[in-house]
Structures are given as structure tokens and as C-alpha cells.
């Protein structure tokens, strides 16, 4: 037997690869500062953990509705309606295990072989992986450092064609931390409003931002709600990466397709984690605010320090918890530099090129780590020979 041909079209996420390499180094006694993986280093807030424990004691241990528990879907619909200034109902919400399945399921539900998908480069590697897996055509649009890692809108316009079925937006963005300005979103909406396509708006970092205003969602703009799949979840906002819970908000006709895929794969997301997620959304938000304040402080200190390393240049990001440093002036290809930083300096980080061709020349550092460890990483990088 051998693997089906389509499996070869799936790619991996380099963060998990580098983590394995780093762990192997640690097993030989080396010390590694982990700046590779994209997850908050804070514990899940205690009131959310307590809600999960209570739910287990109360017997929330059985299958639930495929689309998600009605009370959670209602809370999500109210939350999205409030924060995105739109009007959605629980009928528009699909609760799934982690946000990733929303990417997977919406693309499975929408794309035919040969359809084109326009997506950001550098970008979350799963986008291209899924597009290729489905036999659709990946159409990358470069993000420009000079525009705060937003699109060049002229290039975006050129890349849209009569075969474009999906446009993927991600703001705040992984790996650059870029936030799409409201003005750009309006122009993007004007470009796609009359086209026969959907927009997948990946807003998983929606609450982690350092700009004066919350990042805008394209769903808010006139005529866009019915064309948008809004992806968000609990992993990053509530430090719940291991709980696996996310959701999509989308038009009802698409919910039907996603529900079918859920029934065929997961049946439903875990019931007690959904009860905990309800507590996350409806309970106190102070832990989120405190986490973001800590990220802001780390961002300021870490980016300033990165700029003191010869050959490194880093503009503080507007959101997420990634510093995307331009390392072209070091004269070392970013892949080699990332390898050297791990092997020689004990600093695990990601080659920007692993996020797409236009990420070459950059290194992604996650600053979801203590200030002490971040400064230790800087010290090690400065001393590296």
C-alpha cells in the first residue's frame, strides 16, 4: 500500500518541525529559548478552567449538536454582532474543534479543482496547503513591509480573475503582525463586492492588537457580510490552544455544507469545552486585557532590542505576538540564519520563507515568552559567531 496522491499535496507547519528539532537539542543538554511556536504563554484564565471542571461534574460528557451547543452559538453570535457591528444569529455560527477546521471545511465546501484562491504571502502555511490539497490554484499576493505588511492593492486587483472563488484575508496577521488599515479594507471590499467569490476573513488574533482602534473586519462593510466567512476562536484570545475550540460565522447556505463535513468527521466539538468557552465569552475579560498589555510591553522591548543587532530591522507589529524581522542586511539567507540561531545560539525561531516566497529575508520571532527569555535570546543572538 502507499499513501494517496493527494496527501503529497499537503504541507506541514514549520513551527511544529522546529519545535521537534529544538526539543531534540534540549534532550542533548543544550538550552533553547523557544520563540518558534505561536501560542500565548499564559495559563487559561481560572474561571474558564473552573467552568470546564463544573461542566464535567455536571455530565457535559456526551455528544452535542453538530453545529455547536445553542447557548454557545447564541453567545458567539451576540459577541460577533457587537464587536464587528453586524447582525448575525446563532444560525450563522459553526463551532468546531480549533479554528483550523473552519479553514479546512469552508475550502472543502466551496472549491472545485482549478478554482483560484488569492491569499497573503507570507501567510499562515495552512492556506496554501489546503488550496493545493483540493486541486485549486494558489494565487499569492505579496505583503509589503513598506505598507505595514498590507497588500499592494494594485497587485491584488491584478491577481483577481473570473476564476477566483476565494480571497483569504488575515488581520492581525501571522507571521508579520500586520493589521489591514480600514481604508485598505474598504478598497478590497470595492474590488470584490460584485464578484462571484467568498472572503475568508481569518480574525483569530482579533483581540491581540496594539493599534488605537480594534482591527476592522471586512464583514462590517456594506454588502460584505453575505460574502464573508469570519473565522475566530478561543485559542489565542483566551490562551486555550490545547482545548481545540474555534468557530466560523457564515451565510446559512454555507453552514449546511460545514455541518455535513462536521458530521462526517468530528460529529461535534467536545461538550464540556464548549461550556468553558461560554464562560470565556460571557465572563470577565480582564485576563485578556492583562495579557495584551504584557504582549505590548514585550513587543516594545523586544523589537527595540532586535534593532540593535547588526543586520536586523524590525518595525513593531500592530497586532498578534510576532516580530517579523528583516534580516537581509546580515547577508545570510533567512533559512540558514534560522538554522544557525537554533544550533549555535539556542534560539528557536522560524524562517520567514516557510510562510511563502515573499517571507524570504525575514525571521519570525514569537514574543509570547517572558521578558527575561526574550532578552536572553537577544543576548545570545548578539554573541553568536
Binding site for ligand PLP (CB under 6 A): 38, 98-100, 124, 170, 174, 202, 204, 233, 235, 241, 246
Collapsing DSSP to helix, strand or coil, 32 comes out as: coil
Contact 333, 362 (CB under 8 A): no
Closer to ligand PLP by Cβ: residue 45 or 246: 246
Q: Write down the least CB distance from residue 147 to ligand PLP, Å.
A: 19
In angstroms and rounded to an integer, the radius of gyration of the C-alpha atoms of the chain is 21
Strand partners, 141: 120
Q: Write down the least CB distance from residue 231 to ligand PLP, Å.
A: 7
Collapsing DSSP to helix, strand or coil, 141 comes out as: strand
Buried b (16+ CB within 10 A) or exposed e, 246-285: bbbbbbeebbebbbebbeeeeebbbbbbbbbbbbbbebee
Closer to ligand PLP by Cβ: residue 160 or 240: 240
Contact 377, 347 (CB under 8 A): yes
CA terminus-to-terminus distance, the chain: 48
How far apart CA 248 and CA 202 sit, in angstroms, is 9
Closer to ligand PLP by Cβ: residue 220 or 241: 241
Q: Write down the least CB distance from residue 292 to ligand PLP, Å.
A: 16
Closest by Cα among 365, 367, 361, 368 to 122: 361
Closer to ligand PLP by Cβ: residue 120 or 353: 120
Q: Write down the least CB distance from residue 207 to ligand PLP, Å.
A: 13
Closer to ligand PLP by Cβ: residue 140 or 346: 140
How far apart CA 122 and CA 27 sit, in angstroms, is 32
Closer to ligand PLP by Cβ: residue 288 or 345: 288
Interacting residues of 325 by C-beta distance below 8 A, sequence separation 6+: 306, 312, 313, 314, 362, 363, 364, 365
By beta-carbon distance, which residue lies closest to ligand PLP? 98
Q: Write down the least CB distance from residue 208 to ligand PLP, Å.
A: 11
Rounded to 10 degrees, the C-alpha dihedral 168/326/14/12 comes to: 30
Q: Write down the least CB distance from residue 327 to ligand PLP, Å.
A: 21
Closer to ligand PLP by Cβ: residue 99 or 338: 99
Closer to ligand PLP by Cβ: residue 241 or 285: 241
Q: Write down the least CB distance from residue 202 to ligand PLP, Å.
A: 5
Q: Write down the least CB distance from residue 215 to ligand PLP, Å.
A: 13
Closer to ligand PLP by Cβ: residue 241 or 373: 241
Distances (CA, A) of 278 to 68, 81, 330, 363: 11, 16, 48, 36
Closer to ligand PLP by Cβ: residue 98 or 346: 98
Closest by Cα among 224, 225, 175 to 356: 175
Q: Write down the least CB distance from residue 222 to ligand PLP, Å.
A: 26
Strand partners, 231: 202, 248
Q: Is the dihedral of CA 17, 21, 27, 31 positive or negative?
A: negative
Q: Write down the least CB distance from residue 174 to ligand PLP, Å.
A: 4
The C-alpha cell at 176 is 508579520
Kindly report the backbone phi and psi dihedral angles of residue 325, in degrees, each rounded to the nearest multiple of 5, phi listed first. -90, 135
Amino acid at each position: 500500500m502507499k499513501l494517496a496522491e493527494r496527501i503529497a499535496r499537503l504541507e506541514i507547519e514549520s513551527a511544529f518541525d522546529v519545535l521537534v528539532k529544538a526539543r531534540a537539542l534540549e534532550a542533548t543538554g543544550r538550552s533553547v529559548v523557544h520563540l518558534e511556536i505561536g501560542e500565548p504563554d499564559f495559563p487559561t484564565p481560572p474561571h474558564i478552567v473552573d467552568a470546564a471542571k463544573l461542566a464535567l461534574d455536571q455530565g457535559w460528557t456526551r455528544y452535542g449538536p453538530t453545529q455547536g451547543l445553542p447557548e454557545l452559538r447564541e453567545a458567539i453570535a451576540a459577541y460577533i454582532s457587537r464587536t464587528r457591528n453586524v447582525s448575525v444569529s446563532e444560525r450563522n455560527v459553526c463551532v468546531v474543534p480549533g479554528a483550523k477546521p473552519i479553514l479546512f471545511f469552508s475550502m472543502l465546501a466551496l472549491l472545485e479543482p482549478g478554482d483560484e484562491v488569492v491569499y497573503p504571502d507570507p501567510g499562515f502555511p495552512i492556506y496554501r496547503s489546503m488550496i493545493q490539497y483540493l486541486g485549486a490554484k494558489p494565487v499569492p499576493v505579496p505583503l509589503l513591509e513598506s505598507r505595514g505588511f498590507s497588500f499592494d492593492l494594485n497587485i491584488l486587483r491584478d491577481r483577481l480573475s473570473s476564476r477566483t472563488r476565494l480571497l483569504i484575508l488575515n488581520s492581525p496577521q501571522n507571521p508579520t503582525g500586520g493589521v489591514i488599515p480600514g481604508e485598505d479594507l474598504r478598497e478590497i471590499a470595492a474590488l470584490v463586492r460584485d464578484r462571484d467569490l467568498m472572503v475568508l476573513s481569518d480574525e483569530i488574533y482579533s483581540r491581540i492588537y496594539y493599534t488605537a482602534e480594534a482591527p476592522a473586519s471586512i464583514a462590517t462593510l456594506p454588502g460584505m457580510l453575505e460574502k464573508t466567512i469570519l473565522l475566530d476562536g478561543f485559542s489565542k484570545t483566551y490562551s486555550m490552544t490545547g482545548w481545540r475550540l474555534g468557530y466560523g460565522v457564515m451565510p446559512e447556505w454555507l453552514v449546511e455544507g460545514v455541518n455535513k463535513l462536521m458530521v462526517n468527521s468530528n460529529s461535534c466539538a467536545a461538550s464540556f469545552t464548549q461550556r468553558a468557552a461560554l464562560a470565556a465569552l460571557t465572563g470577565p475579560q480582564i485576563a485578556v486585557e492583562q495579557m495584551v498589555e504584557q504582549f505590548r510591553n514585550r513587543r516594545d522591548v523586544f523589537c527595540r532590542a532586535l534593532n540593535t543587532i547588526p543586520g536586523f530591522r524590525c518595525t513593531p507589529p500592530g497586532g498578534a505576538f510576532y516580530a517579523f524581522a528583516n534580516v537581509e542586511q546580515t547577508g545570510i539567507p533567512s533559512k540558514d540564519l534560522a538554522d544557525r540561531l537554533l544550533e549555535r545560539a539556542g534560539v528557536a525561531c522560524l524562517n520567514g520563507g516557510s510562510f511563502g516566497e515573499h517571507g524570504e529575508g525575514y525571521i519570525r520571532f514569537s514574543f509570547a515568552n517572558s521578558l527575561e527569555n526574550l532578552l536572553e535570546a537577544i543576548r545570545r543572538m548578539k554573541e553568536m559567531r
